[in-house]
Amino acid sequence: MHMRINGAEVPSAGAGWKDVKNPATGETIDRVPDGTPEDVKNAVESAESAFPKWSGKTGRERGLLLFHAAAQVRDRHKELGRLLTIEQGKPLREAIDEVRGFCNVLEFYAGLSSQPAGEAIHLGSQGDCMVFHEPLGVCGAIIPWNMPVIIMGWKVAPALLAGNTIVMKPSSTAPLTALSISAILEEAGLPPGVLNIVTGSGGSAGEAIVTHPSVQKVSFTGSCATGCRVRELAGSRNKEVILELGGSDAMIVMNDADIRKAVDGAIRGRFYNAGQTCTAVKRLFVHRDSAESFISLLKVRVESLKVGNGLDPKVDMGPVNNRQQYDTLSEIMRSVKENREGTILTGGSPLKGDGYNNGYFFEPTLVRDVAEGSALLTGEIFGPVLPLMVIPDLDAAIREANRSPYGLGASIWTNDLATVKRVYHEVHAGIIWVNRHLTVPPEIPFGGTKESGIGRENGYRALQEYSRTKTLFLGW
Ligand code: NDP
């Protein structure tokens, strides 16, 4: 596939290409241009030319277009879901859900298009002020490979509705569905240049987006290390950023919780998308009174997960997306075993043998009583490995939940309102779920505290992230 600049497919100004592989088979399924700073320059120029007309439309006109585009993407959800499975690895039903989720995001923002924005302020004898919300101009979006379609929606939909134009870089290991979707948006009537997609490496095309003087704001989702680099580059140019840098979400199961419901929550919370979700359950704390019954039920469920090619409808979990993830996971589990960092109840190794040999498959893994300082607790484990600790009481659970540099989400499983109140007030995170984990609909603001990033995506607030105020002072 080619990049999309100014409403057309274009090759790179350089001669390079990047192969895109199916993580379940190791086969090359397509290739995309290895975009250069020159390509980014062209894309930004196209976004700049499209800006006056796009920002000059009424919010209602932009909203109608988003509605129309969502309908066209929805019509093709099966074909897009299949493409997403082939390039990303997730089971087809999860891929289709993600494509539908993208449509939900577009429709949510389209629905906000007729909401009033701005304020009128009466200042007595001094006069009256009107505060308008104006788009920023050209915005940059940098997308990861774990949820490449929904995260595209979270960035693109509010930015477009607010009247901005966009230059977006998808991840090098999962760029295809995003490219197909942007072509569909153009077929649905999005004017050329409003959304431009430059493929290529983060260090080259990605940094060129962040540093281009005409790009007003950059929204980035990915690792902490890369996020810090993006922030540094943008900050030294006085540019705003939204950073969503993942998490190490705690799930706390108290002794009054519905155990079956909590086990379901832990399975979905950790093993959905092979554990490669920013808000996945990455540390599980279980009250000692219910620990043994909870753990034995959880172990049975983890062992029953069927791993394989996501196109097989019987499969619960696909491969991890890329070689780097696979190697990182393998290395972490090697260290856990060698240094006795916990008791592995099930799994713990890459999957080899029939049907697995060329893919990045990893066993669904459950490790209990993880030692302090283990990478399973200190880092962001992006894969199907669930560390579990038994805790004596709520004080310990809260203390442990906060012992992480991240603060994206956390969940508490209980029927006791006083417990909910304490966790809500004392656990540092952008979202606290009660008897649920992972769900992030477009209606609610999403983002973290501490090293999980800055700014918010989703909800009404995201529209404010993509606009600035300008005041008209009428001195009568
Ligand atoms: P990165 O943060 O490196 O990549 C995310 C996106 O940023 C990709 O599009 C990447 O491009 C781009 N990028 C890379 N370097 C730069 C740069 N210097 N300037 C601008 N953009 C850049 O994540 P990885 O893919 O390396 O994953 C590593 C770890 O990050 C995972 O194990 C996981 O812990 C975490 N992660 C968290 C995510 C989340 O949802 N919060 C999502 C993905 C990863 P390219 O693809 O070309 O490298």
Q: What is the CATH number of the domain that holds 413?
A: 3.40.309.10
Question: Can you give the pLDDT at residue 11?
Answer: 84
Question: Can you give the pLDDT at residue 355?
Answer: 78
219 and 283 inside one domain: no
211 Cα–ligand 1 center, Å: 17
User: Is 47 part of a structural domain of the chain?
Assistant: yes
| C-beta separation of 298 from 259 below 8 A | no
Q: Is 282 in the pocket of ligand 1 (CB under 6 A)?
A: no
262 Cα–ligand 1 center, Å: 31
Dump pLDDT digits (tens) for 37-73: 999 999 999 999 999 999 999 999 999 999 999 999 9
> From atom 12 of ligand 1, which residue's Cα is the shortest distance away?
202
246 Cα–ligand 1 center, Å: 10
User: Is 85 part of a structural domain of the chain?
Assistant: yes
289 and 423 inside one domain: yes
Q: Which of 172, 226, 446 to mutate to test the pocket of ligand 1 (most atoms within 8 A of CB)?
A: 226
Question: Can you give the pLDDT at residue 116?
Answer: 65
197 and 214 inside one domain: yes
First to last CA, the chain: 58
| Nearest-atom index, ligand 1, CA of 172 | 46
| C-beta separation of 406 from 450 below 8 A | yes
- Look up the domain containing 316 and give its range: 249-441
pLDDT tens-place values along the chain, 476 residues long: 999 999 999 987 787 999 999 999 999 999 999 999 999 999 999 999 999 999 999 999 999 999 999 999 999 999 999 999 999 999 999 999 999 999 999 999 999 997 767 899 999 999 999 999 999 999 999 999 999 999 999 999 999 999 999 999 999 999 999 999 999 999 999 999 999 999 999 999 999 999 999 999 999 999 999 999 999 999 999 999 999 998 999 999 999 999 999 999 999 999 999 999 999 999 999 999 999 999 999 999 999 999 999 999 999 999 999 999 999 999 999 999 999 999 999 999 999 888 788 899 999 999 999 999 999 999 999 999 999 999 999 999 999 999 999 999 999 999 999 999 999 999 999 999 999 999 999 999 999 999 999 999 999 999 999 999 999 999 98
- SS3 assignment for the chain: CCEEECCEEECCCCCCEEEEECCCCCCEEEEEECCCHHHHHHHHHHHHHHHHHHHHCCHHHHHHHHHHHHHHHHHCHHHHHHHHHHHHCCCHHHHHHHHHHHHHHHHHHHHCCCCCCCEEEECHHHCEEEEEEEECCEEEEECCCCCHHHHHHHHHHHHHHCCCEEEEECCCCCCHHHHHHHHHHHHCCCCCCCEEECCCCHHHHHHHHHHCCCEEEEEEECCHHHHHHHHHHHHCCCCEEEEECCCCEEEEECCCCCHHHHHHHHHHHHHHHHHCCCCCEEEEEEEHHHHHHHHHHHHHHHHCCCECCCCCCCCCECCCCCHHHHHHHHHHHHHHHHCCCCEEEECCCECCCCCCCCCCCECCEEEECCCCCCHHHHCCCCCCEEEEEEECCHHHHHHHHCCCCEECEEEEECCCHHHHHHHHHHCCCCEEEECCCCCCCCCCCECCEECCEECCECHHHHHHHCEEEEEEEECC
140 Cα–ligand 1 center, Å: 15
Active site amino acids: 155, 244, 278, 457
User: Is 446 part of a structural domain of the chain?
Assistant: no
CA 188, distance to chain mean position in Å, is: 25
Q: Is 216 in the pocket of ligand 1 (CB under 6 A)?
A: no
52 and 193 inside one domain: yes
Q: Does the pTM exceed 0.85?
A: yes
Q: Is 174 in the pocket of ligand 1 (CB under 6 A)?
A: no
| C-beta separation of 47 from 40 below 8 A | no
308 Cα–ligand 1 center, Å: 25
Using CA atoms, how far residue 151 sits from 80, 158, 170, 219, in Å, is 15, 12, 10, 10
User: Is 447 part of a structural domain of the chain?
Assistant: no
Domain tally, the chain: 2
18 and 47 inside one domain: yes
User: Is 306 part of a structural domain of the chain?
Assistant: yes
Q: Is 169 in the pocket of ligand 1 (CB under 6 A)?
A: yes
219 and 275 inside one domain: no
411 Cα–ligand 1 center, Å: 26
| C-beta separation of 430 from 447 below 8 A | yes
362 and 275 inside one domain: yes
CATH number of the domain at 125, please: 3.40.605.10
Q: Is 409 in the pocket of ligand 1 (CB under 6 A)?
A: no
172 and 295 inside one domain: no
Q: Is 172 in the pocket of ligand 1 (CB under 6 A)?
A: yes
143 and 259 inside one domain: no
CA neighbours within 13 Å on the CB side: how many for 163?
A: 19
For residues 156 and 135, what is the distance between their CA atoms, to the nearest angstrom? 13
User: Is 216 part of a structural domain of the chain?
Assistant: yes
Of 397, 385, 386, 471, the residue nearest 432 (C-alpha): 397
Q: Is 210 in the pocket of ligand 1 (CB under 6 A)?
A: yes
| Nearest-atom index, ligand 1, CA of 209 | 20
CA neighbours within 13 Å on the CB side: how many for 383?
A: 31
360 and 319 inside one domain: yes
For residues 205 and 38, what is the distance between their CA atoms, to the nearest angstrom? 9
142 and 201 inside one domain: yes
User: Is 460 part of a structural domain of the chain?
Assistant: yes
228 and 260 inside one domain: no
Q: Tell me the Cα Rg of the chain.
A: 23
Q: Is 229 in the pocket of ligand 1 (CB under 6 A)?
A: yes
User: Is 127 part of a structural domain of the chain?
Assistant: yes
For residues 122 and 31, what is the distance between their CA atoms, to the nearest angstrom? 58
Q: Is 380 in the pocket of ligand 1 (CB under 6 A)?
A: yes
For residues 363 and 344, what is the distance between their CA atoms, to the nearest angstrom? 12
Question: Can you give the pLDDT at residue 44?
Answer: 98
> From atom 8 of ligand 1, which residue's Cα is the shortest distance away?
171
| Nearest-atom index, ligand 1, CA of 322 | 25
